[in-house]
């Protein structure tokens, strides 16, 4: 929108869609608060009909980002396909994306320096491919002690680290945990997100004190400990047809 001004005149804009659900929908009257020329209103204009009955005309920041950008990116080639699959998958922006398609799906990567287990500053016991078996048991015991679970390296530990929202399958995970009652297993869930899911998460250790722990906060050191000390990392997903973010 400011490309015509000064140093931005020849600039190119790339817009990356990480999660299509978070679009920034606001009342149409709020456009006046932006102090933009009326010529930009069509880029913002959006008919909100995802929740029936139709909620009326609004402004939509994500739609504007798509329309006004030179290049639209997202987090994987499969997510590119999913976003144009239909109004449910594209959350009503699938039509806009079909007129100005996503060109590149950049697969998520990992910082190999931050997550190098041989130098990880957040884990007590460092390891590499030759020492992982011995180190895993020790890191598991440190993890169990950290979250207040019974310390026993022979117990399989399952972890989840991520956003608490339907797209991540967090609701599926929380609902499934009671199925593990009676099994020789421990489950640790770390994440923030929807208030209802956070509350359900916090109740896990009340209901299953020797099996589960739910930590509703952003905690980088604990996330590192969980990956280093767990036996299984669970990645549930609510999409059945095209898995979000897969390669």
What percent of the chain stands above pLDDT 90? 35
153 and 205 part of one domain: yes
The tokens for 9 are: 């005149």
Predicted confidence (pLDDT) per residue in 58-109, tens digit = 999 999 999 988 889 888 888 888 888 877 788 888 888 888 767 677 777 7
142 and 86 part of one domain: no
Rounded average pLDDT over 1-9: 66
Pair 181, 157: CB distance under 8 Å? no
186 and 221 part of one domain: yes
What percent of the chain stands above pLDDT 70? 89
Predicted confidence (pLDDT) per residue in 152-197, tens digit = 999 999 999 988 877 677 888 888 888 888 889 999 999 888 888 8
Domain membership flag for residue 65: yes
229 and 137 part of one domain: yes
Percent helix, strand, coil in the chain (nearest 5)?
35, 15, 45
Task: For CA atoms 156, 160, 166, 167, give the dihedral sign.
Answer: negative
Domain membership flag for residue 125: no
136 and 94 part of one domain: no
> Which long-range contacts does 142-145 make (Cβ < 8 Å, 24+ apart)?
142/225, 142/229, 143/188, 143/225, 143/226, 143/228, 143/229, 143/230, 144/186, 144/229
136 and 65 part of one domain: no
13 and 78 part of one domain: yes
Cβ atoms within 10 A of the Cβ of 240, count?
6
Last residue of one domain, picked from the residues 86, 105, 124? 105
172 and 92 part of one domain: no
For residue 242, is pLDDT > 70? no
Kindly list the strands in the beta sheet with 14-17, ordered across the sheet, starting from the edge strand earlier in the chain. 14-17, 71-74, 104-105
Pair 54, 47: CB distance under 8 Å? yes
Pair 65, 2: CB distance under 8 Å? no
Domain membership flag for residue 242: no
Residue 60 backbone phi and psi in degrees, to 5: -135, 110
CATH number at residue 89: 3.40.50.2000
228 and 138 part of one domain: yes
Total structural domains within the chain: 2
Domain membership flag for residue 127: no
Domain membership flag for residue 185: yes
> 230, 156, 163, 229: which is closest to 190 by C-alpha?
163
Q: What is the pTM of this model?
A: 0.69
152 and 211 part of one domain: yes
89 and 176 part of one domain: no
Which structural domain, as residue segments, surrounds residue 211? 132-233
Q: Between 241 and 125, whose confidence is greater? A: 125
137 and 198 part of one domain: yes
Domain membership flag for residue 212: yes
Cβ atoms within 10 A of the Cβ of 222, count?
19
Predicted confidence (pLDDT) per residue in 8-49, tens digit = 777 888 899 988 888 999 988 899 998 888 888 999 999 877
Pair 20, 94: CB distance under 8 Å? no
Rounded average pLDDT over 191-214: 88
3-state secondary structure 47-103: EECCCCCCCEEEEEHHHHHHHHCCEEEECCHHHHHHHCCCCCCCCCCHHHHHHCCCC
């Amino acid at each position: 929108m400011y490309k015509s001004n000064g140093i931005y005149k020849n600039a190119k804009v790339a817009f990356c869609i990480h999660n299509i659900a978070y679009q920034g929908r606001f009342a149409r009257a709020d456009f006046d608060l932006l102090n933009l020329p009326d010529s930009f209103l069509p880029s913002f204009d959006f008919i909100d009909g995802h929740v029936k009955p139709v909620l009326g005309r609004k402004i939509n920041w994500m739609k504007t980002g798509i329309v006004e950008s030179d290049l639209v990116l997202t987090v994987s080639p499969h997510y590119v396909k999913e976003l144009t699959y239909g109004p449910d998958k594209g959350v009503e922006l699938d039509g806009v994306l079909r007129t100005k398609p996503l060109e590149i799906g950049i697969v998520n990567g990992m910082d190999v320096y931050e997550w190098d287990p041989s130098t990880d500053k957040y884990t007590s016991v460092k390891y590499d491919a030759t020492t992982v078996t011995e180190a895993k048991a020790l890191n598991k015991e440190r993890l169990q002690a950290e979250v207040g679970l019974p310390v026993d390296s022979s117990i399989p530990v399952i972890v989840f680290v991520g956003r608490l929202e339907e797209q991540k399958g967090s609701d599926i995970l929380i609902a499934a945990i009671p199925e593990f009652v009676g099994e020789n297993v421990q489950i640790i869930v770390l994440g923030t997100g929807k208030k209802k899911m956070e509350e359900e998460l916090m109740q896990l250790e009340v209901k299953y004190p020797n099996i589960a722990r739910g930590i509703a906060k952003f905690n980088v050191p604990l996330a590192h400990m969980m990956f280093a000390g767990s036996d299984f990392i669970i990645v549930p997903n609510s999409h059945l047809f095209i898995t979000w973010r897969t390669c």
